[in-house]
Chain A
Amino acid sequence: MDIREMIAAERTDLAAVLTGLTERQWDSPTLCAGWRVREVVAHTTMPFRYSGGKFLAELARSGMRFNAMSDRCARRDAAALSSADLVDALAVNVHHPWKPPGGGFAGALSHEVIHGLDYTVALGLDRRVPEERLRAVLDSASGTTARRHFGVDLDGVQLRADDLDWSLGSGAPLTGAAQDLLLVLCGRRLPAGRLAGAVHQLTRGKRSVAG
């Protein structure tokens, strides 16, 4: 499957997951600090809903800082759009050609997969990201730049997946599902009991990362 097909497949799968959520689940917290499911979906669909001009205007209204804009727009749009509107924004855009600047289609796939996990894991849903997509995102997230960006220090720790043949780094093992380890790489704090081993040796960045 090429990367565009993987992006479309992930969006299709996530739209199906979201269609089945109750309103209470839509209002539940996610692994993105301060965001419920509806803010996360408002955020991931923002590139489909905003023109270039609107994006720049919103950026200006947020002091020209992307994270501030992401947070402001996600909260406002989540309040304005219904759950059905948000699912629709994702479902009708599964083939949308958006790429994050500097990230290419690999960045678009990472955006969908990681933010999808932000709510499926937080809700305790038993959804596994298909291995081909997960490996593609793990490859991107394992790079030095991504790890520095998310502020995760893996010194002396080895991430070791217990559901597929994947590991990163060397040192005391931190084990768990590969998709949970991806979230560790992205600086997320996971619900208790999902990881085993060197959990307390990890240090993370001090600010939350929306993008």
Chain B
Amino acid sequence: MDRDRFWELVDAAREHASEPDEIAAALVELLVKTSAEEIIGVELELNALLSESYRWDLWAAAYLVNGGASADGFDNFRGWLLTRGRAVWETALADPDSLAGVVSEHLPSFLECEDMVCVAVDAYEQVTGDEEGLWAAVEAAAAHIADEEELSFDDPAEMRSRLPRLWALTG
């Protein structure tokens, strides 16, 4: 699975449907015909796209378009954006304000599609009977990300222990 293959699948789903929830359902139908391994590949590619798009400027665009956007509302807005296909997605990420040209035909609709961010989870559950294997793969893929610990800059012992040479110079 790679980025091109992910968008090919989205395009194939878009050929079967036009409404966001229908596109998500069509994509799930396509995925259940593949394998659990392929579905995990789609999930990880989706995770990468959600990670790259976790940006304040795009969140601000969602806030304006939908008249507000909570954390899960922003996820679902990006689900809707995924259903618009690769060109719209990539243009929006390059310039969130470009969405003005896309959303004007939908307003005052509410642009969210939770089903689209859950396509791989739903397909995986249909194929294997539960979600456990998929979540284990998601967690393993993020294993290199450590919890970043917050340091107390005004705690001499902590600063000396973390940055001993700089502490010796400046402390």
Contacts and interface: CB of A to CB of B under 8 A. Distances in A.
Contacts of B50: 63-65
Interface stretch (B9-17, B60-68, B82-90): B60-68
Interface string B123-142: 00000000000010011001
Contacts of B69: 102
Interface residues of B, number: 33
B60 to A, nearest CB: 9
B147 A107 contact: no
B68 A207 contact: no
B167 interface: no
Contact of B71 (A53, A100, A146): A100
A64 B47 contact: yes
A66 B75 contact: yes
Interface in A57-107: 57-67, 72, 100-103, 107
Contact of B149 (A51, A100, A148): A51
Contact of A65 (B68, B75, B112): B75
Nearest to B120: A63
Interface of B: 43, 46-47, 50-51, 54, 59, 63, 66-75, 110, 112, 114, 117-118, 135, 138-139, 142, 145-150
Given A51-B148, A63-B43, A102-B59, 10 more contacts: A51-B150, A53-B148, A57-B147, A64-B47, A64-B54, A65-B72, A100-B71, A101-B70, A144-B67, A148-B110
